[in-house]
Every structure is written in structure tokens, then in C-alpha cells.
Structure 1
């Protein structure tokens, strides 16, 4: 069966990371199948193994899409900071760092004020992760590139020794992109070269003809190059089969773990959404409580005023009755 038409993998990835978080796993599987059907089995496998973004990473990805100019301006400050640091220009470093904080706080403040991103409520912890990731994007050029691409799987944080992910592990900030004329997917990575060694044979000894000279030993049998090559092929093929089996087993465990992580992240997302909803209900209930208490205070004041008026009226009635009795005696 001939492969389908080539797939624009880069566009497909942009669409994948722009989707609502709960649609990621299903869309990733569909994208992998489309790429495989186009004849790119390696690219399909890589896309199929892309980890589902955490809630915080998804928020960063959407912010990068909704505010591309602001994010690009922040990343550009990072380039200027590195130049100023190389020039040891302290005043420029101070000014740029102040500008970085102002722009990052403005963008984070916009998200915090909106309370949502792409229709999804954003928790305070996700906003904090957004701020940390934007700082990392300024401090590290690779982090800046992957943040601008909007394809993070975990939020980032800049620490003393570099960039780490949400688990505190060194972050892989290699940006996925399309490479090669065939559109195959792949991160830029360095390959390794193997080295081989050859074997050299020894020399021959002088022989004799029985006339006092040392007799010449029988000539060694020449090795069969074809047999040696076939044996080497069999040995390496067996090694490849063993490593492929081990790799498949590890891949299965990784997929199972990734699915488990995705499920927990979905659960966490639903819980965070529920917490946001309950927080709104709590704020509304507090407002109603304050209004009810104010009405209660007003009613109590009215009751006290009515009591005072009633007491005064009763005193006036008593005085009137007393005056009437006095008038009758006359």
C-alpha cells in the first residue's frame, strides 16, 4: 500500500499543543497515525511518545500563543543581558533586569487578572509556574526558543546551575522542529561514531630441506573472509535483536507510566477546576453573608428605635390618663 500524502509535521505539532489539555492524548495518537501513514515511521514514533503537558506547561504554551509579541520581547531581553554581561556593563545589566521584571510582571499580571487561559481557569500555583518559566526563557536561549514555540511538556525554572523542570530535574529544552527535505520530525541531536579495530597476521619462519636447517612448519590455513563476515553479521544481528527487545520493553513501561501520569494530571486539572469553582462560590457566599449581616444590623437598629418610640408613647399615654383622673376630681 502506497503512503499517503506528506504531512506538515511542524503545523501538526502546533495544532496539537494548542488544543485543550484533555484532548492532547487522543490528538497525539491521531497525529502519530497520520504521520505513519505518510511514510514517516520514525517521526510517527517520536510524536507518539511526546509527553502530555502538565497543567502549568499547558498554561505557558497557551500564553505564548496568545501573547507572542510580549514573550518575544522578554526573550530578546535575555540576548541583551548576555551581551551586557559579556561586556561587564553593570548599569546596562541593572536597567535590563529591571525591564525584564516589569515586562514579566505585566504579562503574568494580565493572566492573573483574567483568571483563565483559553477558557480554562488558572490556579495561583500555575500562575507562579508561568512567572518562573518566563524568567527561565530570559535567562537561557534554548529555554526561550522552546517557550516561544509553545511546546513545553513541563514548566521551567532557572536555578544556579541552569534550567530545571517541575520535578527539579535538569530540563531538556531542545525544540522539536522539522528537519531534512523529507519533513521528518526530530530534535537536533549529536550522533556518536563507533570505532573498529583490525587484526594483523604474523610473518613466516624460514624452513629447511633436511640438510641441517630447521624444518619449515606447515603453512597456516588462510581464514575465509566470507565466513568471518557472516559470523560477524550473525553476532551483531543477535545483539541488535536483544537490544531491540529490551528497548521495546522499556518503551512499553514508559508509555504505561506516561498514561498514568496523564490520568493523574487530568484528575489534578479537574480538581483545580473544581477548586476554582468552589472559590467563586465561596466569594459569592461571603458577599451574601456580608449583605445579610448589614441587613440584620439595620433591622436591629430599626427594632431598637421602635422600642424607644413605643416606650415614649406608653409614657405619654400614662401621663394623659393621669391628667384625665385629675380633671375628673375637680
Structure 2
């Protein structure tokens, strides 16, 4: 079977990192097969060993692709900071560092305000890693080139001795930079990167690629586990927010009912006083009625006696 037409491996890789995170592995395997079918064994091996990005790296890649000018501006601040540091210009360093924080915060805030990236919720932990990655792009020129390329598998962090990934392992950003095309306007690749046309022998490179692929698969499995745990954490955070909102609503309802209960208790106390007063008035009226009835009975007895005496007096006078 003859090989197919040559495939633009860089374009395929870009499409992989620009695509949905959950489709990365299937898309990568399909792309590797396509490159292999074209006869490019080295390119196929290169694609096959690409590691699925963590959620934080995927978000950083999307930010780099959707806000290329802002990320380029951050990289330019890094160049100016290094120049100011070399000149020991403290005022300039202070101003640039403030500008770095402002622009980094603005990018992170844009993602936070959206609440999601391509339909995937973004947690506070991922936003923190995004800020760390953008800061690394300012502090290190190689990290800047890698971040701008939008092909991160792990988020980056600048520490005192250099750049590490989100797991705390050293990140070889020099090698990573050599593997990505230079962004427009970026500084040239470091001189120790392998010049074009001086690649190692194909068999040696394939052997090294196989060894690296095994390590990358292990890292990919670990990253997938991190993704699963992050998804579980995001779900737990969502359920916690819902529970907190429900609890707050119940608390408001309870406060309203307790206020209503207090009002009803006060009304009951007043009604009891009124009822006691009414019973007292009733008892007084009943006593007054009994007294009047006694007087009436006595008056009737006197009237009866008077009528009897009148009859007797008439009888004697007749």
C-alpha cells in the first residue's frame, strides 16, 4: 500500500490542543494513525506520545488561543522586566511588576466571570493554576513561548530556581520550546536547540521516542486520574454550593416563621388578657343579675301579700 499525501503534523497537533479536552485521547490516536499512513513514522511517534492536558493546562491553552494579544503583552512585559533587572532599574521593575499583576488578574478575572470554558466549569484551583502559568510566561522567556503556543500538557509555575509543572516537577521549557513553532514576534529559539537538518538518526530517535512514550503514557494516566479527581471535586463543590444555598433559604424561612411565631405569641397573650377581662365582666354581670333576680323575687312576694290584704280588706268592708 502506497503512503498517502504528506500531513502537516504541526497543524494536527494544534487542532488537538484546541479541541475539547474529553476528546483529546481519541483524536490524538486517530491523528497518529493518519500521520503513520502518510509514511511519516517520526511524526506519528511524535503525535502518539502527546499527553492529554490537565484541566488547568487545557484552560491555559484556551486562554492563550482566545487572547493571544494579551498573552503576548505579558511575554513582552517579561522581556522588559529582564532588561530592567539587568539595568538594576528598581523603579522600572516595580512599575512592570504592577503591570504584570494587573494584566494577569484581568485575564484570570475574564475566565472567572465567564464561569466556564467551552462548557466546562472552572474551579478556583484551576484559576489559581492559570494565574501561575501566566506568571511563569512573564518570568521565563522559554515558558512564554510554550504558553503562547497553547500546547501545554501541564500548567506551569515559576519558583525560585526556575519553572516547574503543576505537580511540582521540573519543567524542561527549553526542550518544550524547541518542539513548538515560534509565535509571531517571539524571540528566536535558544542557540542550544537542535538546528534544522541535524536530527539524530531515525532509528535512535524512534527508540528514544518509544521510551518517552511509555513515560508519557504513565504521566497521562496520572493526569487522567487528576482530571477525574478534579471533576469529582468540582461536583462536590457544586453540591456544597447548592446545599449552602438551600440551608440559607431554610434559615431565612425559619427566621420568618420565628418572627411570625413571636407575633402570634404576643397576640395570644393579649387575647388571654382580654379573655380574662371578659370573664371577669361576665362574672360581675352574672352576680348583678342574680342580685336583681333576688330583689325581683322579694318584690313579687310583697306584691302578692299586698294583693291578698287588699282582697281581705274589700271583703270586710262589703
- Distance in 2 (CA, whole Å) between partners of 1:171 and 1:245 is 23
Aligned to 1:228: none
CA contact (8 A) 1:4 1:38 kept: yes
Query: What TM-score, normalized by structure 2, do the two folds share?
Result: 0.76
- Distance in 2 (CA, whole Å) between partners of 1:101 and 1:244 is 42
Q: Larger Cα Rg: Structure 1 or Structure 2?
A: 2
Aligned to 1:318: 279
Query: What TM-score, normalized by structure 1, do the two folds share?
Result: 0.74
Q: What are the equivalent positions in structure 2 for 1:64-213 lying under 5 Å apart?
A: 64-173=64-173, 174-175=176-177, 176-177=179-180, 189-190=193-194
Deviation at 1:324, TM superposition (A): 1.0
Residues 154-163 or 246-255, more deviating: 246-255
CA distance 1:68–1:304, shift in 2 (3 Å): farther
1:301 counterpart SS class: helix
Deviation at 1:154, TM superposition (A): 0.9
**1:280 maps to 2:283:** no
CA contact (8 A) 1:63 1:117 kept: no
CA RMSD in angstroms, aligned pairs only: 2.9
CA distance 1:14–1:287, shift in 2 (3 Å): farther
CA deviation map 1:134-158 (0-9, x unaligned): 1111011111111111111111111
CA distance 1:155–1:245, shift in 2 (3 Å): closer
More helix by share: 2
Deviation at 1:64, TM superposition (A): 1.8
Counting matched residue pairs gives 275
Unaligned runs of 5+ in 2: 183-189, 196-201, 293-318
Aligned to 1:37: 37
Deviation at 1:253, TM superposition (A): 3.9
- Distance in 1 (CA, whole Å) between partners of 2:181 and 2:90 is 40
- Distance in 1 (CA, whole Å) between partners of 2:145 and 2:217 is 30
Aligned to 1:224: none
- Distance in 2 (CA, whole Å) between partners of 1:178 and 1:35 is 18
**1:303 maps to 2:307:** no
CA distance 1:70–1:293, shift in 2 (3 Å): farther
- Distance in 2 (CA, whole Å) between partners of 1:63 and 1:10 is 19
